[in-house]
Amino acid sequence: MCFSSLTRPQHNTTLHLIISLHLVPQEVSSQSILQASFSQILRIHLFISMTKQKVTIIGSGNWGSSISKIIAKNTADHSDIFEKQVDMWVFEEKINGRNLTEIINEDHENVKYLPGIKLPDNVRAEPDLAKAIKGATIMVFVIPHQFLDRQLQTIRQILEKEQNVQNFVACSLIKGISIDKTNGPVLISHTIEKALAPWCTECTALMGANIATDVAHEDFCESTLGYKKCDKQVEILRRMFHTPTFQIQVVKEVAGVEICGAVKNVIALASGLSAGLDFGESTRAALIRIGFQEMRKFIQMFYPDSSNDIYFMSCGLADVIATCFGGRNYKVSKAWTQQFKEKKEDKKSWQQLETEMLAGQKLQGTITVEEIMGVLNGRNCQKDFPLFTAIYEIFYENADPKEIFNRLKSSSSKM
């Protein structure tokens, strides 16, 4: 950007951005910045240029590839804040004799996980994790959460070998949780912060009603960016994600945002069961309402100070609705349950359908409900969560899918 060519409105907009991003010393007053000359602002601009944000995306599946399209557009459009190139770590695979990274870098398409969608030229697929994260000031994590620990160990080993490692802020797009049976949920964001301390100054979370293909097609969507303390960086993160068709709400809370993003996948399994058994929309709506209530109860059990506002943001009700009508957990659950209605003798397991239907992607709802039941059993409060308990018994203990309704009928007075 050439400041000498700016009009007065553009000049003021740029100055307000500099102030909002805290890119000048605190002792310099906002008023003095607004009164600064073009030459003074140019010097500030040169300082900013030397500290541009380098973004690395860790993960390249359906969601990772979709969000890379958003991020790469914004790094190119906001070249005064970001380095244009976005490195995306890719687990190397062979597709018709070619490396997947080669296909992405030459054809600009992830033909396995996001076929038919062109990625921006400034997305660079990198199979070497050390090269992908080198110099990163922002790391975006978007891999299945069952693979996270292994990658965090690798990243830590890389950082420990490097000298003068720059601190970075992270953002988790991973929709899952881990459970400590004594203490309850362990947030993915906390796991990342702990594993990558002291270099990771904070891990934020981006969750919302975001079906990956909808985002990739630039359908109008929203998402919620939750953070705890990084007031200086959150505006940079918002600019990295926000577009006219992917609008970002910012909230100073991570726990509720993150757990909503995980638990909604369990509710989607219930929605799929209802559809697979050919019940009407009234039944599905009832299951979604009960699941939403249990999600809120689960969050408040461990995070009583969590804001009620999050349930009405994209990470809350909107994400539940989107996932229960179009997500992978809904689709596989529906296909699996249809076999019971059709009374097939050679039923496929939900694990088989996961492999056949998801092209290498993983269900998150089945993993999450298993984790949830670990803590509910430890606290002996399964009866307070009849929907979650029924889903676990159906997917892991061979209970009849109709058991979900028997369980809810006997618990209706408490709901």
Catalytically annotated residues? 264
Strands 246-251 and 138-141: unpaired
How far is residue 401 from each of residues 262, 294, 376, measured CA to CA in Å? Answer: 22, 19, 21
For 177-274, strand residue ranges (E) read 178-180, 184-186, 200-207, 221-226, 246-251
Q: Which residues pair with 248 in a beta bridge?
A: 223
- Say how far apart CA 392 and CA 373 lie, in whole Å: 7
Q: Helices H, strands E: what count in the chain?
A: 18, 12
- Say how far apart CA 168 and CA 403 lie, in whole Å: 48
- Say how far apart CA 78 and CA 262 lie, in whole Å: 31
Residue 234: how many other CB atoms lie within 10 Å: 23
Three-class secondary structure of residue 84 per DSSP:
coil
CA 221, chain centre distance (Å): 14
Q: Which of 312, 189, 193 is nearest to 258 (CA)?
A: 189
Q: With 0-12 CB in 10 A as exposed, 13-18 as middle and 19+ as buried, what is 273? A: buried
Start-end of H helices in 3-147: 8-20, 30-34, 38-50, 62-77, 100-107, 129-133
Rounded to 10 deg, the angle between the 255-276 and 319-326 helix axes is 30
Three-class secondary structure of residue 366 per DSSP:
helix
Taking CA 158 as the corner, what is the angle to CA 155 and CA 159, rounded to the nearest 5 degrees?
90
Torsion of CA 186, 144, 330, 111, to 10 degrees: 160
Q: Are 409 and 415 in contact (CB under 8 A)?
A: no
